[in-house]
Amino acid sequence: MIPFMKAERLLAILTILLNRKKVSAPRLAKELEVSLRTIYRDVEALAESGIPVYATQGRDGGFELMEGFAMDSQVFETGEVSRILAGLKGLQAIYPDPGMVGLIEKFSLMLNASAEKGIKTPENHVFIELSPCTREKKILERLEASIARKGVIDIDYCDTRGEPSSRLVEMQALVFIWQSWYAYGWCRLRKDFRLFKISRILSAADVPEPRQGPAADLAEHPWNRHWNTIAPEEIVFQAEQRTRAKLGEFFDPSAIEELEDGWVEVRTIFPVDEWIMSYIMGLPGAVRVLEPESLRRQILERARSISANNDTR
């Protein structure tokens, strides 16, 4: 799972603090999958922006917001609340939770109150659009309803290899990972927990049956284990200069090197799976795969197959 960007972490920390009385630094680090040092820096950034968050020491210590706090004019004038609202509204578009509505109303009231006091608030120019397509939204709503009533759902699913299957699944969580929605649940076909990408669920229908599978400890984020089933390897490939912007959208700048011949080299650690194969083959222009040999061979075989099936001579 890709870690939160800083702005997203700050929003996540603030949301957690608004909904809980006290949260320890280790707990925040575990939930957001970052180091303790990062959590301390983020909390410090919140405090510097005017959010009255403080730490208590001891066995039951942690971070919490000052009781009955009110945002001061500095926070409103810098536009921080407007940005928080933009983030909340973006999250609401992909997950219409009633609690999210309440948070949006609270921050909107703060802005209205500041305007009444004559505090100038910068016009918002940050908009976050995360809403899925209409088909995926309907699937999400159906899965969410099934999770809420602890039901069973019948899905028609197409995996990464393009193989279709019909499965009875006891969905337990919806997860937003890598800019995509996934559903996590007990699959009766595989007799194990599975992570299903929403865009690959072709249809979903409720089944009037009681659940049979075990319950997952969602606090442990068990779906992350499904990203680690394939051991990562060092991957090295080179691509034409025109791919530079596209590579920068996914890979860290430290993994990208400009070569003297005008090409770009990427050196990273990643599982050799269908995703990385599709990504490399989807890059514009020519690509040279240097390592590992298994990936180079798989891409070569697929390229030959595509060429053979499109040869009209």
* Residue ranges per structural domain of the chain: 6-116, 134-226, 232-309
Cβ distance 11 to 88 under 8 Å?
yes
Q: What is the pLDDT of residue 292?
A: 92
Q: In whole angstroms, what is the distance from residue 106 CA to residue 182 CA?
A: 29
More confident residue, 129 or 43: 43
User: Among residues 249, 233, 94, which one has the least CA distance to residue 177?
Assistant: 94
The dotted CATH code for 6-116 is: 1.10.10.10
Whether the per-residue pLDDT at 168 is higher than 70: the answer is yes
pLDDT band for 4, please (50, 70, 90 cuts): very low
Pick the CATH number of 232-309 from 3.30.70, 1.20.950, 1.10.1060, 2.60.40: 3.30.70
Q: What is the pLDDT of residue 254?
A: 87
Average pLDDT for 1-25: 67
* pTM of the model as a whole: 0.52
Whether the per-residue pLDDT at 43 is higher than 80: the answer is yes
Q: In whole angstroms, what is the distance from residue 188 CA to residue 170 CA?
A: 8
Q: What is the pLDDT of residue 1?
A: 35
Q: In whole angstroms, what is the distance from residue 284 CA to residue 263 CA?
A: 13
pLDDT band for 112, please (50, 70, 90 cuts): low
Q: What is the pLDDT of residue 89?
A: 66
Average pLDDT for 87-98: 61
Whether the per-residue pLDDT at 86 is higher than 70: the answer is no
Query: Residue type at 224?
Result: N
Q: What is the pLDDT of residue 136?
A: 81
**pLDDT, the chain, mean:** 78
Domain 134-226 is found in CATH 3.40.190: no
Q: Which residues share a beta bridge with 54?
A: 64
Q: How far is CA 118 from CA 34, 107, 113, 214, 238, in A?
A: 39, 17, 9, 56, 57
Average pLDDT for 227-248: 84
Percent of the chain clearing pLDDT 90 (strictly above)? 24
Whether the per-residue pLDDT at 18 is higher than 80: the answer is no
Q: In whole angstroms, what is the distance from residue 300 CA to residue 72 CA?
A: 61
